[in-house]
Amino acid sequence: MEAPAPRRQPVETSIPDFDRLIHEKTRLAIVSALAVNPTLTFNEMKAILKTTDGNVSVHTRKLEEAGYLSCRKSFEGRMPKTEYALTAAGKRAFEKYIGHMEALIRATRGA
């Protein structure tokens, strides 16, 4: 009888030195969107991500707590307006993440 094949580990838990905060899909889309826009408002973010208010709030807060996003609240007329921007730490983390993915592709090509 053959030994059972080893169970495949989820990718997230099997890569060392990995920024799991950015790796999550919604947060990765937020950071990617801010990489090509100096600032985005909450509503613009919601339209780009095609998601709910709650989802945008939760994930932007996590990125803000990590120091990857800055958040500025103001009023446009009587309407509250929230604007997000990538911080220097956020830009570095995003570039590092892309570098990591490219390195993985290079490494597995040579494997």
Q: Where in 3-22 is the site for other proteins (CB under 8 A)? A: 8-9, 11, 14-15
Q: How far apart are CA 53 and CA 68, in angstroms?
A: 20
Q: Tell me how far apart the alpha carbons of residues 17 and 97 are, in angstroms, rounded to a whole number.
A: 10
> Interface with other proteins by CB under 8 A: which range of 54-62, 63-71, 84-92, 102-110?
102-110
Asked whether position 73 contacts other proteins by CB under 8 A, the answer is: no
Give the residues lining the site for other proteins (CB under 8 A): 8-9, 11, 14-15, 23, 25, 28-29, 32-38, 40-41, 43-44, 46-48, 98, 101-102, 104-105, 107-109, 111
